[in-house]
Amino acid sequence: MGYNSFYPWAKCDILHEFSIFTTSDQVKNFRHVQALSRYGIETHIVVIPCSYDELVCKNCQNEKPLCFFYETLFTKLGVRFPLSLFERGILNMMNVAPTQLHPNSWAFVHAFQILCIHFVIDPTSDMFFYFFEFRPSKRISWASLKGASGRGLLSLFQSSYKSFKGKFLKITRDFPDSDLLEGFPLYWSSHPKSQTSRALDTLEVMKLIAAKCSTNWVSYLKRPFF
């Protein structure tokens, strides 16, 4: 029985991508040079070698909690465990697993979070979806974000990720009570949720700013950022 029988909703391209991390030595070498923990506690994060024919969209609900992550999220973008509340919120609103969101779109999420931290603002999913939107594609496996019309904030990479697909890690947790893999979809969804761009006056943070400031900050924020 082929993979198509188990994942009839998956596009053909995703059914032919397998991980290079299939041995304990490969995993050990990666962990030796790459930190995964946000707080420096690496022992709570367990990386298991993938099977030679294991799919990144595999549903592992009958096993102990685990999730797949692309190597590039750690090495290039600096994603760490546990995921932030903001990162979890984005995945939840889109109803996608971490590897289901294309690395280019992960870069939007990570850069937006850094930008908010720089300006001492707590990033929220609704705030993010003022600047971005998501419409599931029937042709492409990975979920991709795009900038909302007229609200350009971050631009795409000059060159798209092209060699990330076969480099994913299988991650689980060391302690049963750990929240390492909680608060976001662990496995690929056949029904990602479309997210349209939010109206500015619906954002709670903007209402608070307008209420507390004599200056009309809402009008100010409607101007182009760059």
pLDDT digits (tens, 9 = 90+) for 162-195: 789 999 999 998 876 678 999 999 999 989 999 9
**pLDDT (0 to 100) of residue 216:** 46
Q: Is position 27 within any domain?
A: yes
Q: Is position 49 within any domain?
A: yes
Q: What is the mean pLDDT of residues 115-125?
A: 89
Torsion of CA 66, 72, 74, 80, to 10 degrees: -60
Domain that holds residue 61: 3-221
Provide the pLDDT confidence category of residue 143 given band limits of 50, 70 and 90.
Answer: very high
Q: Is position 192 within any domain?
A: yes
Number of domains making up the chain: 1
Q: Is position 226 within any domain?
A: no
Q: What is the mean pLDDT of residues 10-15?
A: 72
Better-predicted residue by pLDDT, 86 or 115: 86
Q: How far is CA 176 from the centre of its chain?
A: 23
Cα(85)–Cα(78) distance, integer angstroms: 16
pLDDT at 221 over 50: no
**pLDDT (0 to 100) of residue 33:** 97
**pLDDT (0 to 100) of residue 205:** 61
Torsion of CA 116, 121, 123, 124, to 10 degrees: -150
CB-CB contact of 145 with 108 (8 Å): yes
Provide the pLDDT confidence category of residue 120 given band limits of 50, 70 and 90.
Answer: confident
pLDDT at 218 over 60: no
Q: Is position 124 within any domain?
A: yes
One-letter amino acid at 211 equals: A
Q: Which of 43-57, 93-107, 121-135, 212-226 has the lowest mean pLDDT?
A: 212-226
Cα(75)–Cα(144) distance, integer angstroms: 20
**pLDDT (0 to 100) of residue 199:** 86
Q: Is position 33 within any domain?
A: yes
Cα(116)–Cα(163) distance, integer angstroms: 30
**pLDDT (0 to 100) of residue 207:** 54
Q: Is position 204 within any domain?
A: yes
pLDDT at 8 over 70: no
**pLDDT (0 to 100) of residue 96:** 96
Average pLDDT, the chain: 84
Q: Is position 12 within any domain?
A: yes
pLDDT at 98 over 80: yes
**pLDDT (0 to 100) of residue 177:** 62
**pLDDT (0 to 100) of residue 157:** 59
List Cβ neighbours of 162 (8 Å cut-off, separation of 6 or more).
Answer: none
Write out the H or E segment, with its range, that includes residue 200.
none
**pLDDT (0 to 100) of residue 213:** 46
pLDDT digits (tens, 9 = 90+) for 57-86: 888 876 788 999 999 999 999 999 999 999
